[in-house]
Amino acid sequence: MSSILDEYEDSQNSRHPVQHSSRLSAANIGITHSGFVNVRLEEEKPIFNKQRIDFSPPEKINHFAVCNNQLCMSLGKDTLLRIDLAKPDQPNQIELGRKDDSRVHKLFLDPTGSHLVISLSTSECLYLNRNTQKVRSLSRWRGHLIESVGWNKLLGTETNTGPVLVGTSQGIIFEAEISASEGSLFNTNPDQYFKQVHSLEEDGRPAPVCCIEVERGPESKVVIIATTRKRLFQFVGRVAEGSEQQGFSSVFSQNQELLPSFQEFPFNMGYSEITFYTSKLRSCPKAFAWMMGNGVLYGQLDYIRPDSVLSDVQVWDYTPDIDFSFNKPISIVLTQFHFLLLLPDRVKAICTLNGQVVNEDVFPDKFGTLKKMIKDPAGGLVWIYTEKAVFRYHIQREARDVWQMYMSMNKFDLAKEYCRDRPECMDMVLAKEAEHCFQNKRYLESAKCYALTQNYFEEIALKFIEAKQDEALKEFLLKKLNNLKQSEKTQITLLVTWLTELYLNHLGLLESDEGKHGVFQETRDEFRKFLSSSKHKECLYNNRTTIYDLLASHGNVDDMVYFSVIMQDYERVISHHCQHDDYSAALEVLSKHCDEKLFYKFSPILMQHIPKKVVDAWIQMGSRLDPKKLIPALVNYSQMGSTQQVNETIRYMEFCVYQLTVTEEAIHNYLLSLYAKYKPDSLLWYLEQAGTHASDIHYDLKYTLRLCAEHGYLQACVLVYKIMELYEEAVDLALHVDVDLAKSCADLPEDDEELRKKLWLKIARHVVQEEKDVKKAMNCLSSCNLLKIEDILPFFPDFVTIDHFKEAICSSLEEYNQHIDELKQEMEEATESAKRIREDIQEMRNKYGVVESQEKCAACDFPLLNRPFYLFLCGHMFHYDCLFLEVSPHLSTYKQAKLGELQKKLAAATQTKSRHRPSPKEKEEGGDTASLGKESAGVSREQIKSDIDDIIAFECVYCGELMIKSIDKPFIDPGKLEEEKSSWL
């Protein structure tokens, strides 16, 4: 018992399913017409996989029920076995305790698996709850042989069934309710009530209620389906919301006025059975299958219909091998696409789509006759039992071949729905659908389907070309193009070019037909949308030359301009407008896209025709344009153009100079040439405000001078001479214009008095000799303090009397006398100053300082008198070598080099002195010579020492400028910082 659900394959008894032509053949290996490779590496598992339960019952199995993983079976005469399939190793055996001849007639298990109703052959009923071990009698049910129970799926719980319907062998339908609680003191029975609500008849006599089913549809609709041996009844009604607990009496009462809806078949095999298919747990069934005498009635359940919920009903006849005399069908189970028929020795699986047998499983004789087939609605497993064994079927991938059936029925949408994850099957469906549409002359739909297949591209294209269906061909190419990957550049290029040609041909035909203007506009919009597609932008850009050629060959100028704008090929657009003399449109495109290179290229021709608009566009562009690159356009048409062009040229040049502050010399030179030629009044103003120094101006002085000289603008030439600092030339030229202008030029060289005097002499000579105006000459004398009366006297003619110069001569003599007095005063002050300096020097020679024996060096803090030292007036005292070390780092490079050179000379002089020290014999013989050498060496060493002192002892290192200059230097040399830090550790 503990191993009842240990599953294993009964390889000796399981047989391969029968293969029919409607299924894919296992030999279908290789490349199909769709281009997919369909290789089956191993045989697919069968849809209905049978497994035998490893269970040997101690007694014969009489009846069997399973629901919600709860299994109940009747063994022998008085034994009931319950198994929770989640815990198969813990079976529960219960004895019914019946001593009479009664036996179990049927078992009924509710959808929750909690309530078990046991119908006995003695017209009695027992009840067993899942949570109890005690079998209780249903006293109100006594006297009725129960054939069917319609459970309440909405209100049923583990402790209460809610209102349920019970069908008897006498055709009576009762409404009842069972509670698992012990009840009250006066009512200990589990059955709450038991009342008749309806009765069924066949041929005027009561007929057993073979099956009864209760379903609830939308909007409080209740549907009750009951079957007899050859009739199927429907009871449809509505139950007020919240009144479900009141039962189903109202549904039957609503149908009493009219005859109940039923379907009847003539043949009767003594019993019938109905089964339902539910896609999801606790949802309404979607389909039904009723096994009766004439065959299997199969259809859908439509709860929206007001009168009958059965729709798409059809009868599948039994196969010829079924003979009611010895192998009548016993049970039926409905799955999503099949119904299973249980025969005494086999199970047949029949497809509900085409009625063909897809599987036939024969059971060995050793297990005995098959008795019943049951489907667990919760787990989806199908159970079959005999007196000796229990089997179950696993249903695996039932919809695997459904697509083929739908495809053969031309239900392509459903076929595609069931092969979405199988691209090779999807391709076959699409190909079949495309061919079907093509044969029915639905070319556009055919093209859309063909584009999704892997069929040969050329073959499909030729089909549409031969059928002269350009619109369908275009649709096919568009769909194919959208399905290509970006890496397939060759295919994309081919399709884009072909589609462009098709669009252009179509547009050409529509344009010639005046009655199709609307279609023409729609097609043009579609074509432009195709050209502007971002997905194929790269391809269109790389092949834009080909597209241009196609557009040009069809004379489609408007679309060529549109395509040029999309490709940002504005040069072509502007050229097109210029060729058609539409210069304003060209400038509009140019201004809109602000491409500097295009401005430089097309400005010359636009300047010739619309100068004002062009200059406005230039000014709007501002600093983004380089004015120097626009000079060719300006020069060309300002020289040979109209006055308007010249004025607009000057306007733009002034904008560059005064607002953009352009410093390019070519711009300023060109503006000056325009001023000189067309606006001379502005020339002098420009030169004056441009600056008076060569560093401030941005034009070429020599070019400007030549330009002004050519046009005779002398005053402007004088201004240029002044900037060039050619003052003599400026004065000479200014004297031909105005003496006052010459005077202003003569005062410019402020640092060169000799030149100023020379320039003023030029002015005086001009005034005297050319204008012969003595009064003006005297004014010149008073204007310049460098000129004296004696300087200008040679310019006057001999006949001029001295009366004109009397005052000037007297004034000059007085100035000379005053200058002589000033010189005398300065000489006296210099003599007095020299005398005081000599006294200070004498005083300094007699100054001294006192050094005590305990005095220490200010640098090393050691006694001062043990080595040569320096004493400063500030009181600081240093050893010679200490002062040398303190001063050296602060000296300039030049002084450090000079100090090193003096030290070398001092060392050399010291060695020379020691080598020339005379011996006693030399003193007797050559005393005079030795004395001379000593005196020479001594003088040299003293001078060197004096020079060294001037460098290192020029001032106190602590009180002088050296200390002030070193205030920004660190106390520790950065190069020796690490060394200093390590010395402190």
**Domain range list for the chain:** 98-228+231-264
Cite the DSSP H helix spans in 800-892.
Answer: 806-845, 880-887
pTM of the model: 0.55
Model confidence pLDDT, tens digit, residues 334-376: 998 899 999 999 999 998 888 888 889 999 888 889 999 999 8
378/730: higher pLDDT: 378
pLDDT band at 765 (very low <50, low <70, confident <90, very high): low
Q: Which of 156-170, 302-316, 517-531, 756-770 has the highest mean pLDDT?
A: 156-170
What's the rounded mean pLDDT across residues 1-22?
Answer: 37
Q: Does the pLDDT of residue 186 top 70, yes or no?
A: no
499/848: higher pLDDT: 499
Measured between alpha carbons, how far is 574 from 513 in angstroms, rounded to an integer? 31
Q: Which two tokens stand for residue 392?
A: 């179950």
Q: Does the pLDDT of residue 153 top 80, yes or no?
A: yes
3-class SS letters over 667-679: HHHHHHHHHHHHC
Distances from the Cα of 103 to the Cαs of 98, 130, 211, 368, in angstroms? 9, 21, 21, 20
62-66, 807-811, 911-915, range with the lowest pLDDT: 807-811
What's the rounded mean pLDDT across residues 15-43?
Answer: 39
Nearest CA to 98 out of 57, 147, 62 is that of: 62
pLDDT band at 23 (very low <50, low <70, confident <90, very high): very low
Residue 510 region, left (φ>0) first, then alpha (ψ -120 to 50), else beta?
A: alpha
Q: What is the DSSP letter of 455?
A: S
What's the rounded mean pLDDT across residues 400-427?
Answer: 84
Q: Does the pLDDT of residue 506 top 90, yes or no?
A: no
Nearest CA to 652 out of 714, 588, 599, 705 is that of: 599
Model confidence pLDDT, tens digit, residues 676-719: 788 877 777 877 777 777 767 777 777 877 877 777 777 777 77
Name 832's Cβ contacts closer than 8 Å, sequence gap at least 6: none
CA 842 to chain centre: 94
Residue 978 is predicted with a pLDDT of 83
Name 471's Cβ contacts closer than 8 Å, sequence gap at least 6: 443, 444, 506
Model confidence pLDDT, tens digit, residues 79-131: 899 998 888 888 889 988 877 778 899 999 999 899 999 999 999 999 999 98
Model confidence pLDDT, tens digit, residues 378-391: 878 899 999 989 99
Residue 24 is predicted with a pLDDT of 36
What's the rounded mean pLDDT across residues 57-86?
Answer: 90
Output the CA angle 777-782-783, nearest 5 degrees.
95
pLDDT band at 527 (very low <50, low <70, confident <90, very high): confident
What's the rounded mean pLDDT across residues 868-896?
Answer: 86
Q: Does the pLDDT of residue 734 top 70, yes or no?
A: no
What is the DSSP secondary-structure string of 171-194? Answer: SEEEEEEEB-S---SS---SEEEE
Residue 174 is predicted with a pLDDT of 94
Q: What is the DSSP letter of 300?
A: E
Whole-number percent of the chain with pLDDT over 90: 15
Residue 845 is predicted with a pLDDT of 63
Name 803's Cβ contacts closer than 8 Å, sequence gap at least 6: none
Residue 384 is predicted with a pLDDT of 93
What's the rounded mean pLDDT across residues 629-647?
Answer: 70
Q: Does the pLDDT of residue 29 top 80, yes or no?
A: no
What's the chain's average pLDDT?
78
Q: Does the pLDDT of residue 73 top 70, yes or no?
A: yes
Name 381's Cβ contacts closer than 8 Å, sequence gap at least 6: 375, 392, 393, 394, 395
Measured between alpha carbons, how far is 349 from 334 in angstroms, rounded to an integer? 10
100-114, 252-266, 396-410, 436-450, range with the lowest pLDDT: 252-266
Model confidence pLDDT, tens digit, residues 462-489: 888 888 888 888 888 888 888 888 888 8
Model confidence pLDDT, tens digit, residues 199-233: 998 888 899 999 999 988 887 788 899 999 999 99
Residue 9 is predicted with a pLDDT of 36
How many other CB atoms are found less than 10 A from the CB of residue 667? 23
Q: Does the pLDDT of residue 797 top 70, yes or no?
A: no
pLDDT band at 6 (very low <50, low <70, confident <90, very high): very low
Name 217's Cβ contacts closer than 8 Å, sequence gap at least 6: 223, 284, 303, 309
- Asked if residue 610 lies in contact with residue 577, where contact means CB atoms within 8 angstroms, the answer is no
